[in-house]
Amino acid sequence: MSSPLLETRNLQIRFGGVLAIRDVSFHLAQGEVLGLIGPNGAGKTSVFNCITGFYRPTSGAVLLDGMSLTGHTSYRISRLGIRRTFQNIRLFDDLSVLANILAGAHAARRSTDDTVRAIHSTCTDLGIETRLLSRPAHELAHGLQRRVELARALIADPRVLLVDEPGAGLNASEKRLIIALLRGVARDRNIGVIVIDHDIGMIARACDRVVVLDFGKVICIGTPREVRRNPAVVAAYLGG
């Protein structure tokens, strides 16, 4: 197997006396969509926060192409090619769609013309019509706002994209679109994508492999089919 694009090794973080995540190890390959699931409080977002430098792990490491990211600032990690979206959409409501996407372009060293071309290409990939670029973000439907947030994360050409609850608040057809977009982004841009979502059906359709957390610990890694049949996973979600 080729070297992983992203890897966590025995990742731990403690808040006072609470061990929020413990010995979390997994890897992500280029072009792969990896699911990160678990019950509420399992530590999923804490893992994202450790990868992006928002939290500094108590122990363990996060590696990008074999280089440790431990101790780097979140800004530096973003510059190195790791971008994310959030569970609660964090757009600048009164700014235009274009201005929101441009806010994510700071990490890319491009000329103005190249930036304009990248914006139009990214919007085309995500089904965001050019006529919407001048609209204030708050005027867009919820599903379109999700796609604008994805565009803002993708505009700097990340190597790894972390997507937190992309299906939240979306109907079934909008979820199908997001699944197709995430798989297309991973394939066409050859980047690694990690997705958190509570909709197991959505995760199963979107992801190549799934990492399952429970009480901050990895209890299963496998294909969506393997994970759904795993007794420890069933017990974690349903009790047992």
Q: For residues 186-197, give the mean pLDDT.
A: 96
Nearest to 171 by CA among 134, 137, 199: 199
Contact of 32 with 89, CB cutoff 8 Å: no
pLDDT for position 240: 56
Alpha helices for 5-141 (secondary structure H)? 44-51, 74-80, 97-102, 112-125
Q: For residues 23-49, give the mean pLDDT.
A: 96
Domains of the chain: 1-81+162-240 (3.40.50.300), 91-157 (no CATH)
* pTM of the entire predicted model: 0.94
Q: CA-CA-CA-CA torsion for 131, 134, 136, 140, nearest 10 degrees?
A: 10
pLDDT for position 196: 97
pLDDT for position 201: 92
pLDDT for position 114: 83
pLDDT for position 109: 67
Q: Is the pLDDT of residue 239 over 70?
A: no
The pLDDT confidence band at residue 116, using thresholds 50, 70 and 90, is: confident
Give the relative orientation of helices 172-189 and 142-154 as an angle to the nearest 10 degrees.
10
pLDDT for position 87: 85
Q: What is the CA radius of gyration of the chain?
A: 18
pLDDT for position 117: 86
Residue-wise pLDDT tens digits, 125-171? 999 999 999 999 999 999 999 999 999 999 989 999 999 999 998 99
Q: Give 114 or 6, the one with higher predicted confidence.
A: 6
- CA pair distance 229, 224, nearest whole angstrom: 9
The pLDDT confidence band at residue 112, using thresholds 50, 70 and 90, is: confident
